[in-house]
Structure 1
Amino acid sequence: MDKKFEPLFEKVTLPNKVELRNRFVLAPLTHISSNDDGTISDVEIDHIEKRSKDVGLAISAASNVNDLGKAFPGQPSVAHDSQLDGLKRLAKAMKRNGAKAIVQIHHGGAQSMPYLTPNGDVVAPSPITLQGDEKHSPSYEKEEHHAREITQEEIEHTIKAFGEATRRVIEAGFDGVEIHGANHYLIQQFVSPYYNRRDDEWGENKLKFPLEIVDEVVNTVKTHADENFIVGYRFSPEEPETPGITMEITEELVKHLIEKPLDFLHVSLMNVHAKTREGKYQGEERIKLLHEWIDGRMPLVGIGSIFTAEDALEAIETKNIDLIALGREILLDHNFINKIQNGKADEIMSEFDPYRKDNHDLPPNLWEQFNKGLYSLPRTDGK
């Protein structure tokens, strides 16, 4: 290995004293390959095992905590005890080569798709109408769908569902969970003034819902797991909607989260060096701000447009993030980390080749989405 890449392979110790073998994280990647009932498929296990083998921390695809939260076809589920057998197989596969394996627990909220939920029912903090998510829909449907306001009772049941999902993850043998509070899904929707226009306690205090979920998950861990179980939280720092989540709102969220017994925070970005859009922090790198606010309390995971070994090194050398998550790149080349370790960084595949299905070793459904250009990434055909 080229000596300059050694910082990428430094060990990282989490607040709960669990040690990660390097700074690489497998990002929670949508693969649309689980069985229709949310159980784990053979294709999915093979796909995730290949991409878990060299990272320090591996995060599974977003897994819905109840049936109302299903946001895309082929989504894995942690909503029922009947799904435990497949989850146990997935845990073993992800951990087989030494990675710490965690499940991202998720609820789609307004982004859930009516054709995937019971009776076509979709809920959100407040009533809202959205376009279909053609990125995840196999029919690329563009029809609008409506989300009704979630009731107080349903809010409480949903919080409990995140706890029950955590219990199943523990029983399946995983090393932890990541709470999915990003990407316009339900938890983020409660934080957002665009989605959350409620006039009750859940609207007046928009951080109440995510923080109660964190407490529920932490209490479940205390009851059912040991001190080595990892709990992380993922968030999106800004929204394009008006009025949406701003960096000022995220600053408040982060300052509450670092007071919780969490083991890492994970910022969702398309580019790890992205800058703040507006407000008093306009033009400043989001990662730098987040690093300052976290103040060393727990590791920060960064992600976004890391396609080469040099990209990964540059991100770590900023000293603003502790762990670097690989998303689109590890889909293109699951040997990304191994090639760096073995002095073959120049052999990393960083472009999608639509004429070579054998190049990327993707599940068939995911390969088709790549081929149709539904993901922003470098391509050999320039499209």
Structure 2
Amino acid sequence: MNPKYSPLFRPILLRSGIQLDNRIVMAPMTTWSSNHDYTVSDEEIAYYSTRSNGVGMVVTGCAYVSASGRAFHGGFGSDHDDFIPGLRRLASAIKEQGAKAVLQIFHGGRKCPPELVPNGDVVSASALPLEQSTGSNQIPRALSEAEIQSIIRDFGESTRRAIEAGFDGVELHGANGYLIHQFFSPHTNQREDQYGGSLEKRLAFPIAVVDEVKKAVAEHAKKPFIIGYRFTPEEPETPGITMADTLALVDVLARKELDYLHVSSVDFWSPPRRGGEDSRSRIELIQKRVEESVPVIGCGSIYSADDALKAIQAGVGLIALGRELIIDPDWVEKLKQGKEAEIETKLRKDAQSRLVVPEGLWKIIVSRPGWVPMEE
């Protein structure tokens, strides 16, 4: 290995007591490829196994915690004990390659297609439709307080199932406009009860979920177990989540003694839209805010070895590779072996089979030009 890349391969000890072998994480990405009964498919097992060799930790695509939270065709579930055997296969496939296995759990809220949820009953923090650009005019139903409490418990139960399935941790998906995000955002949360209104009240649901997951870990985990939280730092809408809101969120999360905070970003170096102190990137501002209290995972458009080195030198504890590991599953091993010049940074159109990419994910890649860099 070229010594200049050694910062990427320093071990890191998380608060839970689990040590990661290096600073590189496989980012959570939906594959749209589960079985029709929402169990993990053989395609997904092969896909994750192929990409788990070399990274310190793998965070899976999101598993829904409630039947009302299915946001993806081809997404897998964690809302019933019947899913544990498939989840166990997934955890084992990742861990057999030497990486820690983390199950991302979520509820889709208003982003759930009606045909995927019971009786087409789409729910959210408030009865506000998706933006017109999505092409959907579905208006969700605002959750009752009793239903909110039920979903909070569902996050705890999914955590228990992750423990029983052999995962090393869970990541709470509080990003990308899903239900936890919907409660935190003033754009999607217009409630006037204990779960909405002020910033403090908009934090109530996310923090209740964190507390429920921590409770489940304390009750069911017999060995150290990772808890992470992913969030989107800003929204374009007004009102919407600002950097000031996000810095308040990370203040609260840092006091919750989590193992890491995961910033969801398309570009690691993207600057704040508003509410930031200066011109530094959002991730750098977040890292400055938490300092050493909790590791931050940064991600977004890190393709080459030098991209990764520059990102880790910005001070974050870990970096996540998503699209990069679709393009080149051997990214980490090539870097470790001093073959960084051989890392592929553009996807070949004839490489689906060689790269073990599930059909559902491949179709999405092809249908969204520009999402994953492709050779002409």
Name the TM tier (shorter chain). over 0.9
Secondary structure at the residue paired with 1:5?
helix
Specify which of 270, 274, 277 is matched with residue 273 of structure 2.
277
Check the 8 A contact 1:10/1:23 in 2, yes or no.
yes
Specify which of 191, 194, 198 is matched with residue 201 of structure 1.
194
- Residue 176 of structure 2 is matched in structure 1 by 183
Distance of 2:131 and 2:52 partners within structure 1: 34
User: Which stretches in structure 2 are left out of the alignment for 5+ residues?
Assistant: none
Q: Which moved more, 1:187-196 or 1:218-227?
A: 218-227
Distance 1:57 1:280, change over 3 A: closer
Check the 8 A contact 2:65/2:158 in 1, yes or no.
yes
Distance 1:47 1:356, change over 3 A: closer
Distance of 2:263 and 2:122 partners within structure 1: 26
- Residue 21 of structure 2 is matched in structure 1 by 21
TM (normalized to structure 1)?
Answer: 0.94
Secondary structure at the residue paired with 2:283?
helix
- Residue 35 of structure 2 is matched in structure 1 by 35
Distance 1:352 1:152, change over 3 A: same
Superimposed CA distance per residue, residues 319-356 of structure 1 (whole angstroms, 9 cap, x where no aligned partner): 2x111100111011101101111121111111122244
Distance of 2:189 and 2:124 partners within structure 1: 8
- Residue 246 of structure 1 is matched in structure 2 by 242
Distance of 1:317 and 1:308 partners within structure 2: 14
The structural deviation recorded for 1:188 is 0.6
Distance 1:172 1:107, change over 3 A: same
- Residue 89 of structure 2 is matched in structure 1 by 89
Check the 8 A contact 2:182/2:189 in 1, yes or no.
yes
Backbone CA RMSD of aligned residues: 1.5
Distance 1:367 1:81, change over 3 A: same
Check the 8 A contact 1:273/1:286 in 2, yes or no.
yes
Confirm whether residue 233 of structure 1 aligns to residue 229 of structure 2: yes
Distance of 1:358 and 1:336 partners within structure 2: 17
Residue correspondence of structure 1 range 151-230 to structure 2 within 5 A: 151-204=144-197, 205-230=201-226
Superimposed CA distance per residue, residues 155-195 of structure 1 (whole angstroms, 9 cap, x where no aligned partner): 00000000000000001111110011001100011010000
Check the 8 A contact 1:16/1:230 in 2, yes or no.
yes
- Residue 342 of structure 2 is matched in structure 1 by 347
Q: Which moved more, 1:348-357 or 1:187-196?
A: 348-357
Specify which of 323, 331, 338 is matched with residue 326 of structure 2.
331
- Residue 300 of structure 2 is matched in structure 1 by 304
Superimposed CA distance per residue, residues 132-165 of structure 1 (whole angstroms, 9 cap, x where no aligned partner): 997xxxxxxx343221111111100000000000
Check the 8 A contact 2:53/2:333 in 1, yes or no.
no
Distance of 1:149 and 1:101 partners within structure 2: 34
- Residue 255 of structure 1 is matched in structure 2 by 251
Distance of 1:301 and 1:280 partners within structure 2: 19
TM (normalized to structure 2)?
Answer: 0.96
- Residue 375 of structure 2 is matched in structure 1 by 380
Check the 8 A contact 1:8/1:313 in 2, yes or no.
yes
- Residue 114 of structure 2 is matched in structure 1 by 114
The structural deviation recorded for 1:79 is 0.4
The structural deviation recorded for 1:131 is 5.5
User: Which stretches in structure 1 are left out of the alignment for 5+ residues?
Assistant: 135-141
Check the 8 A contact 1:39/1:86 in 2, yes or no.
yes
Q: Which moved more, 1:232-241 or 1:222-231?
A: 222-231
Distance of 1:358 and 1:126 partners within structure 2: 43
The structural deviation recorded for 1:366 is 1.1
Q: Which moved more, 1:272-281 or 1:35-44?
A: 272-281
Secondary structure at the residue paired with 1:339?
helix
Confirm whether residue 126 of structure 1 aligns to residue 119 of structure 2: no
